[in-house]
Structure 1
Amino acid sequence: MLNWEDIFATRSSRMKASEIRELLKLLDRPDIISFAGGIPDPALFPDEEFKAAYADIFSGSAVNAALQYSVSEGYKPLREWLTGEMGKLGITCSADNVFIVSGSQQGLDYLGKLFLSPGDTALVTWPTYLGALQAFNAYEPNYDKLALSGNRTPESYRKTAQEAGGKVKFAYLSADFANPTGETVDRAGRERLIDLADELDIAIIEDAAYQSLRFDGEAIPPILALEIARKGDINATRTIYCGSFSKTLAPGLRIGYVVANADIIRKLVLMKQAADLHSSTINQMAIAHVTERGFDAQVKKIKAAYSKRRDAMLAALAKYMPESVRWTKPEGGMFIWVTLPEGMDGATLLAKAIETKKVAFVPGKAFHADGSGANTLRISFSCADEKTIDEGISRLGALIREELA
């Protein structure tokens, strides 16, 4: 009998199904109130703007280029628009520092491939974005906890990596309104990370998927901007900024981008050429049309909607949750992180919540590289209106009280 497990590469054993992708199937069940999917609300997509963009492309001479093979670096007008947007954030760069990928998830996969040899160590936060762990897992790394405060020394990271059979290669984090916690790294923490990376001589992967979704509070410069301010030139930096249009415009077009030192970009372009040649030309052109004609207005619209939902969820948590339950209070993004009393298991709670209360969320254990965090969970406010949020959190709070009784 054919045994595929004997034929598969050893790295395939590190590939696991995403709990979140499985939970997204619940969105099709009308009886379930789902706080599980960290996805944008389709009612807020700029659909009319995209209709106009594709109509313009197909009505002119640009259609031939739109349907043709293209350069691996990405559609130049879009890369040039991005250089202007980066400049507003303090990231002075040229189009040569911008690389278009098929969703920022592809960027994470390429960076894992670029840096990680089997046995190397990636520093990640506890918890961290599940998609990043899935992207990196294929390259057989070890993980160590990235601590931006406390007494952890560069030498301790180096020693732990050596004992595990490799080197520390990069630190990965989402600095603004992180998935899954909704938390933001303060400026001092970002500066300390640059110090750590310089000491260890490693890369920093800055996942900025939610950077545009600040509702309140004072904006903090991206890590890449802070490093450029220190070193004077993006081509002297080690921070790799990964951005996306999925949370602001439309995820289905699968257009993301990487902004980094030109040496990194050149390596990523070679990977692109070997993998899928280039990201969808026509989708890049459509994104360029929409960004140039109304990106700021679109961001303003979604921030207004999501901030109201964030406020509704925080109010409902305060109203319905037992005193022993804690949660984050994000200044933006799409997520709130809930910590249950010790001994309560999020996965067990989810099964009961779906069965008895018709409410879904994501258990927090999946976001921990070491399998800890069983008493945590992630809830998203992006796809539910205020009334639904109140009802769903009321049901969830009632279940937790029942479990504690």
Structure 2
Amino acid sequence: MQIDSFFAARNSRMKASEIRELLKLLDQPDVISFAGGIPDPALFPAEKFRDAMADALSDQNQGLSLQYSTSEGYPPLREWLAQRMTQLGVPCGADNILITSGSQQALDYLGKLFLSPNDTALVGWPTYLGALGAFNAYEPRFDRLDPMGNRAAADVQADAAAAGGKVKFSYLSPDFANPTGITLSLQERQQVLAQAEALDCMVIEDAAYQSLRYEGEEIPPILSLELTEKGDLDQCRTIYCGSFSKTLSPGLRIGWVCAARPVIDQLVLLKQAGDLHTATLNQMAVAHVAADGFEDHTRLLCAHYKARRDRMLAALDQHMPKGVEWTRPEGGMFVWMTLPKGMDGADLLAAALRDEKVAFVPGGAFYPDDDGRNTLRLNFSSPNQAQIDEGIKRLGRVLRAAMS
């Protein structure tokens, strides 16, 4: 019996995550890893979570925290998020909020909701590889998202029609994007909306890193810009995906979607069919900790991560050979490096692990067509400053040897 002969054809589009595999390197104490996009566990608000869990498991609350619950999510958490979205320029109610098991689940559900085989998803080139993985299961084609609208909407639509589908959405992370660290300007965000109107498609705004700004002026979310223009959230095509994974805890898997009620209603049906609801105990704990000082905690994170970003940029300036370029992000967790043409990030990783015990993510994984092989992603939130200094120094040696 050939078990794989029973698998659905779409499974051939699914690939193992290079980052999931690279995270295994964290168990090797002699490897300095810039690979995983993970927060520093020393900065988790562990004491507050202990108190929150104790409260949720008290005699008074355990009947709620350990029981089945509604698919939409824990009401106090949804109310807190509605207030948070209002602060971000998106006044809404709890009915516009769905709690998900991390924003990764939201991307999976949105792919399932919108994509039929051969439909087109517009994405960055490169883009978050978790989004590619989530959407791939629904058999779309990928096309380049052009934030400045240099490509005519009619041409994009024609290409989608020729492939046998429609343009269904644009997906982007406008603030300190994974993997590049780049932030879209106000003009670029407005152009994304204008292009979506011309294409009559949705916009998925992945805001996982929005709270991690270290410098520069805040720019309104795309959903805020659209709501200001239209005046009615239920008429907005932008879907905002948020997460507590980069701020409070990735392990509790709490994300959310803020969108028009017709979208939320459909996502609730998918949630009911998928896992019934996100763990109520985790939702209650996050609601408790968020209400008890979310802004103070994110300020603490920004101070620590800004220092590490600055340390990495200074080390890159000192140790990188000529011909290597990198981004200078205003926030988030990543620096994106471009190597001279002809170099391969995957080959460089093999040499870096073998010769210098330093890890990163090769850039090809972030492209739908495996392009950009002369790129790589560096994470600065997880290693400490001494590791950043030493790891970038080692990477510089590897690059010089490869370029000689």
Distance in structure 2 (CA, Å) of the matches to 1:366 and 1:4: 28
Within 5 Å, give how 1:66-215 maps onto structure 2.
66-149=65-148, 151-215=150-214
The offset of 1:59, in angstroms, is: 2.3
The offset of 1:60, in angstroms, is: 4.0
The offset of 1:149, in angstroms, is: 2.3
Distance in structure 2 (CA, Å) of the matches to 1:49 and 1:143: 42
Distance in structure 2 (CA, Å) of the matches to 1:352 and 1:231: 53
Distance in structure 2 (CA, Å) of the matches to 1:152 and 1:199: 12
1:299 counterpart letter in structure 2: T
The offset of 1:6, in angstroms, is: 1.7
Q: Is the 8 A contact 2:212 2:331 kept in 1?
A: yes
Within 5 Å, give how 1:218-367 maps onto structure 2.
218-367=217-366
Percent of aligned pairs with the same amino acid: 62
Distance in structure 2 (CA, Å) of the matches to 1:291 and 1:165: 45
Q: Is the 8 A contact 2:227 2:236 kept in 1?
A: yes
2:265 counterpart letter in structure 1: R
The offset of 1:269, in angstroms, is: 0.1
2:249 counterpart letter in structure 1: A
Distance in structure 2 (CA, Å) of the matches to 1:110 and 1:59: 33
Counterpart in the other structure of 2:22: 23
SS in 2 for 1:251: coil
The offset of 1:49, in angstroms, is: 0.2
Q: List, as ranges, runs of 4+ consecutive aligned residues in structure 1 with deviation greater than 4 Å.
A: none
Counterpart in the other structure of 2:384: 385
SS in 2 for 1:136: helix
Distance in structure 2 (CA, Å) of the matches to 1:389 and 1:150: 38
Deviation digits for residues 272-295 of structure 1 (CA, Å, limit 9, x no counterpart): 111110000010000000011111
Deviation digits for residues 160-207 of structure 1 (CA, Å, limit 9, x no counterpart): 111111110000000000000000011101000111111111000000
Q: Is the 8 A contact 2:39 2:246 kept in 1?
A: yes
Distance in structure 1 (CA, Å) of the matches to 2:281 and 2:80: 16
Distance in structure 2 (CA, Å) of the matches to 1:391 and 1:164: 49
The offset of 1:384, in angstroms, is: 1.0
2:52 counterpart letter in structure 1: A
Gaps of 5+ in 2: none
The offset of 1:4, in angstroms, is: 2.0
Distance in structure 1 (CA, Å) of the matches to 2:267 and 2:232: 20
Distance in structure 2 (CA, Å) of the matches to 1:66 and 1:53: 11
Counterpart in the other structure of 1:399: 398
Q: TM-score, normalised by structure 2?
A: 0.99
Distance in structure 1 (CA, Å) of the matches to 2:352 and 2:4: 36
Q: Is the 8 A contact 2:193 2:226 kept in 1?
A: yes
Distance in structure 1 (CA, Å) of the matches to 2:293 and 2:360: 33
SS in 1 for 2:21: helix
Q: CA RMSD in A?
A: 0.7
SS in 2 for 1:227: helix
1:95 counterpart letter in structure 2: A
Q: Is the 8 A contact 2:149 2:191 kept in 1?
A: no
Distance in structure 2 (CA, Å) of the matches to 1:98 and 1:194: 21
Distance in structure 2 (CA, Å) of the matches to 1:58 and 1:364: 44
What is the count of residue pairs matched by the alignment? 404
SS in 2 for 1:158: helix
Distance in structure 2 (CA, Å) of the matches to 1:4 and 1:234: 47
Distance in structure 2 (CA, Å) of the matches to 1:133 and 1:4: 26
Q: TM-score, normalised by structure 1?
A: 0.99
Q: Is the 8 A contact 2:149 2:192 kept in 1?
A: no
Distance in structure 2 (CA, Å) of the matches to 1:294 and 1:218: 23
Counterpart in the other structure of 1:10: 9
Counterpart in the other structure of 1:44: 43
2:354 counterpart letter in structure 1: E
2:353 counterpart letter in structure 1: I
Deviation digits for residues 123-177 of structure 1 (CA, Å, limit 9, x no counterpart): 0000000000000000000000011126201011101111111110000000000
Distance in structure 2 (CA, Å) of the matches to 1:196 and 1:139: 23
Distance in structure 1 (CA, Å) of the matches to 2:231 and 2:56: 39
SS in 2 for 1:99: strand
Deviation digits for residues 320-375 of structure 1 (CA, Å, limit 9, x no counterpart): 00120000000000000000000010000000000001000000000001110000
Distance in structure 1 (CA, Å) of the matches to 2:155 and 2:180: 26
Q: Is the 8 A contact 2:149 2:195 kept in 1?
A: no
1:378 counterpart letter in structure 2: R
Q: Is the 8 A contact 2:123 2:170 kept in 1?
A: yes
Distance in structure 1 (CA, Å) of the matches to 2:57 and 2:376: 46
